[in-house]
Structure 1
Amino acid sequence: MRKILIVGAGQSGLHLALGLRAHGYAVTLMSNRTPDEIRNGRVMSTQVMFHTALQHERDLGLGFWESQTPRLEGLGISVADPGHGRAVDWLGRLDHYAQSVDQRVKMAAWMETFAQRGGQLVIHGCAVSDIDYFADSYDLVLVAAGRGELVSMFGRDPARCAYGTPQRALAVAYVHGAEPRPEHPGVDAVRCNLVPGVGELFVIPALTVGGRADILFWEGVPGGPLDVFHGVTDPDDHLAVVLQLMEQFTPWEYARVLNVELTDPGGVLAGRFVPTVRRPVASLPGGGLALGVADVVVANDPVTGQGANSAAKCAAVYLEAILARGERPFDAEWMHATFEAYWEQARHVTKWTNTLLGPVPEHVERLFGAAGRLPQVADRIANGFDDPADFEDYFYDPERTDAYLARAAAASAWPGVRGARRIRGA
C-alpha cells in the first residue's frame, strides 16, 4: 500500500486525502487545528463552488450539505456610476447551480469523515523540519497549506507572476437578516458590484455554522476609500464599517442589509495577499521532494471567486495523476508534469483574474454593458465562472469582443435567445 503525507487540511488537502483513501492509499493528513477548533473559530474565506468543482466533490460522495445550501442559479453584475447609482445591472443564468458552504462547516466535517474512513489525522503545526523528518517514511509528500513557512519552500515563478504587491484589501462579514433581493426575489444568485477605481462588493447567499447567511465581501484598491479595516478588531465594529461602505458606494445593496447582524463573533475576516504563481516542487534539506498543491503554487486574488474551485480542480487533477502512476516513483519529472496538467486549467483563471484586478478595459465595459441588453451574453459571462477557459474566445481582445457582440446581437432575434450563447461562435 502506497503511503502519502498531505500537509494542510483545507479544500484541496482534504479533497485529495479523502479521494486517496477511497482508493485504498495509506494517507496521513496533518492539520494545525482540530475539527472543533475549525468549526468554532473564525471564518477562513469566502467561497462559491461552481458546477465543475461541485461535481468533483459529488464524485467522492462529499456533497454533504447540498440539500441545505442555497442553490445559486445566477450571477449578476452591477457597475456603479459616479452618482452611486447603477450604470449597468444584469443577471446571467447558470447552466447548473452553484453553492457556498462556510469552510468551517465543510473542513471540520471532512476531517472527521477522513478519520472515520481510516485516514491518519495528525494535529500538529508543521514546519519544514517536520516535513523533512517524515519524508523518508512516505512515497509522496504533498503540501496543501497555503500560508506560513511552508509556502516559502516553493520559489516564486517570475515568468508567471504579474504582481509583486497585494492588489486588493479584503474584508468579509457573514450576516443573517438580509432582505430578499428586489431585482430577482425568487432567484438566489451571486452578485458582483463593481465600483470603478474603488473596488468590488460581492454578496453571496451561503450556508454557515448557524444556517443560511449572506456573505458581504469587500475588495478595495489598496490606499483607497475601502482600505480602512487595518486595526479594526471588534467584530461589531468590523460589520459597521462594511455597512457604512455599502451605504456610500452601493446603496442598492445597503437597502437590503439595514437590519443584519453577524452570524457569530467569528464571522468576520480582513487581510491581503500577493497574487503569486510558485514553482511546484520543493527540495527538502534531507534530499527529499515535496509537491505543492492548489494555492500553495497558484494563489489568485479572490476577485473572480475561483479559490475553492481551483483547489477542487487541482485536487482532481492530482488524484488522477497519482492513481495513474501505480507503483512507479513520484519523482521530480512526474511532479512537474502533474503540476503542468493543473496549470493548463489554472492559467486561464490567473489570466482572467489579473485582467480584472487592473482598470476595466474599455472593451470589457462594452461587453458588460451589452450583457444588460443581450441575455445570452450575460449567461455566457456567468458560466465563465465555471469554465474560465471560455473567456479566451471573446474577453481579452477588443476585436474579438466586438465581433462576438455583433454575432450575439444578430443571434438575439433567434427563438430561444438564451440558448444562443451555447454556440461558441454565436
Structure 2
Amino acid sequence: MRKILVVGAGQSGLQLALGLQSHGYEVTLMSNRTADEIRSGRVMSTQCMFHTALQHERDLQLNFWESQAPKIEGLGVSVAAPGSWGEGPAARAIDWVGRLDGYAQSVDQRVKMAGWMETFAQRGGRLVIHGAAVGDLDYFARAYDLVLVSAGKGELVQMFGRDASRSPYTEPQRALAVAYVHGLAPRPEHPDFHAVRCNLVPGVGELFVMPTLTTSGPADILFWEGIPGGPLDVFNGVKDPSEHLSLTLGLMERYTPWEYARATKAELTDAGGTLAGRYAPTVRNPVGRLPGGGLVLGVADVVVANDPITGQGSNSASKCAAAYLASILEHGEKEFDEPWMRQTFDRYWETAQHVTKWTNAMLAPPPEHILNLIGAAGQLQPAADRFANAFNDPADFENFFYEPEKTNAYLASISGA
C-alpha cells in the first residue's frame, strides 16, 4: 500500500485525498483547521463550478450537496455605459444571458471542505490538524512515497519558484471584495432562472453576482473586483462585516443600479460572510525541493494561481486533482521522481494554460474585437451561449476570442453575413 501525504484541505487537496483513498492508498491529510473551525469560520472563496468540474466530483461520489445547491443555468453579461455614472445612476449599454449546456453550482467551501474532511476521517483516513512549515515537511517526507502541497498560501508556496515566462503580471491586477447575502431578489426579467451575472464597469472593475449554497441555506454572493487605486479599491482594512456590506451596496447603487435594485433587502448570511484581499496572478515551478533533498509536488493554486475574474479557481482545482489522480494511478509502484512530477504537472497545464491565457486577457482593457463580440452576443444568442459555455471549457476561446480574424469569422458565420 503506497503512502501519500496531502498538505492543505481545499478543493484540490481534499478531492485528491478522497480519490486516492477510494483506490486503496494510505493517505494522510494535513490541515491547519478542524472541520468545525472551517464551518464556523470566514468564507474562503467565490466558487462557481461548471459542468466538467462538477462531473469530477460526481465520478468520486462527492456531490453531497447537488440536490440542495441552486442550479445555475446561465451566465449573463451586463456592461455599464462608459461615463454614465458621472451624472446619476449608470445605464446598461449591453445586457444579455447565455444558456449553459450543463448547469453550474456553487457550494460555500466552508460547507464542502468541512463535509469532505469529516468524510475522509470517517473512511479511515489519517487527519493531522497542524499548520505545516517547510521543516515539518522535511521531517515527514521520508515516511511517504509522495508529498503533495495544496496549501496555496504561506511559507510552503515559497518552495515553488515563479515561472516568469508564464506570469506576465508582478502585481495584483484587482482588489477583491466578497459578501455572502440573503434577501437578494431575482432579476425581474428572469425570476425563475438562476444565472451568474457578470457586470463590467469599464475602467473601474467588475461586479459578479452568483447564487450559492452556504451554511444557512441558499444565498447569493456579491463580488467586486476593483482596479487597484480606483473607486472600488476601498475595502482594505475594513474589519466590520456590516461596513463591508454597506460599501458593497453603495458601490452597486452607483455603478450597477440594475443589480442594486434587487439588493435593497440584502443582509449578510453570517458574521463570517465577507472577505477582501488581492494577489498577483502567478504560475510557479511545480516541483519544490526540501532542505533534506526530498521533492514535493505542488497542486492547483500553489502552481497556477489565476485572478478570480473568470471564475475558474475551484474549476481548475477540481481539474488538477482529477489529472493528478489519473497520473498517480497510472504510475503504479514506480518511484514518484522529478520527471514524473513534471509530466504530471504538464498534464494539468494542458487545460490550465487556457485558463491562464483567458484570465490574463480579461484583466487587460478589452480590444475592439472583444467589445464587438460582447456587443454582438446581445443580438446573436448562439454567441451568448458559446461565451457562457466557454467558462466550462476555456480552450474554446482559442477558436473565436483572441484573434480579430477568428472573432469576425465566427460572428459572420452565425449572423448570416
Tell me the TM-score normalised to structure 2 length.
Answer: 0.98
Counterparts of 2:323 and 2:304, CA distance in 1: 14
Superposition map of 1:71-220 within 5 A: 71-81=71-81, 82-83=83-84, 84-220=90-226
Give the total of aligned pairs.
411
**Runs of 4 or more off by more than 2 Å in structure 1?**
none
> Residue in 1 aligned with 2:248?
242
CA–CA distance in structure 2, aligned partners of residues 406 and 298 of structure 1: 35
Find the partner of 1:350 among 349, 356, 365. 356
Measure the CA separation in 1 of the matches of 2:199 and 2:344: 36
Q: CA deviation at 1:363?
A: 0.5
- Residue aligning to 1:262: 268
Q: 1:41-85 deviations in whole A, cap 9, x for unaligned?
A: 000000100000000000000000000000000000000002111
1:355-370 maps to which residues of 2 (within 5 A)?
Answer: 355-370=361-376
**Runs of 5+ unmatched residues, structure 2:** 85-89
Amino acid at match of 2:404: P
Residue 334 of structure 2 is aligned to residue 332 of structure 1: no
Gaps of at least 5 residues in structure 1 are: 412-426
Provide Cα deviations, 1:150-174, integer angstroms capped at 9, x if missing partner. Answer: 0000000011111000000000000
Q: Distance in 1 between matches of 2:256 and 2:407?
A: 28
Q: Give the Å deviation of 1:12.
A: 0.2
Report what 1:52 is aligned to.
52
Residue from 371, 380, 389 that aligns with 1:383: 389
Aligned counterparts of 1:276 and 1:66: Cα–Cα separation in 2: 32
For residue 63 of structure 2, give the secondary structure of its aligned residue in structure 1: coil
Per-residue deviation at 1:360?
1.2
Work out the CA distance in 1 between the residues paired with 2:189 and 2:410: 27
Cα-to-partner distance string for 1:189-236 (whole Å, 9 max, x where unaligned)? 000000000000000000000001000000000000000001211000
CA distance in 2, matches of 1:186, 1:108: 30
2:197 partner SS = strand
Find the aligned partners of 2:275 and 2:258 in 1 and give their Cα distance.
23
- 1:267-416 to structure 2, matched below 5 A, reads 267-410=273-416
Q: Distance in 2 between matches of 1:350 and 1:56?
A: 21
- Name the CA distance, whole Å, in 2 between partners of 1:85 and 1:360: 20
Deviation at 1:408, TM superposition (A): 1.1
Q: Secondary structure at the match of 1:174?
A: strand
CA RMSD across the alignment: 0.6
> Cα offset for 1:183?
2.2
- TM (norm. structure 1) is 0.96
Residue 184 (structure 1) shift: 1.1
Letter in 2 for 1:59: D
**In 1: Cα distance, 2:68 partner to 2:298 partner:** 33
Q: Percent identity?
A: 73
Partner of residue 421, structure 1: none
Match of 1:424 in 2: none
User: Could you tell me how far apart the structure 2 residues matched to 1:8 and 1:95 are?
Assistant: 33
Q: Using the alignment, how far apart are the partners of 2:236 and 2:19 within structure 1?
A: 39
**Equivalents in 1 of 2:190, 2:196: separation in Å?**
12
Letter in 1 for 2:23: H
Task: Decide which moves more: 270-279 or 178-187.
Answer: 178-187
1:363-383 deviations in whole A, cap 9, x for unaligned? 100000000000000000000
Question: Which 10-residue stretch deviates more, 327-336 or 177-186?
Answer: 177-186
- CA–CA distance in structure 1, aligned partners of residues 403 and 185 of structure 2: 39
CA–CA distance in 2 between the matches of 1:244 and 1:232?
Answer: 15
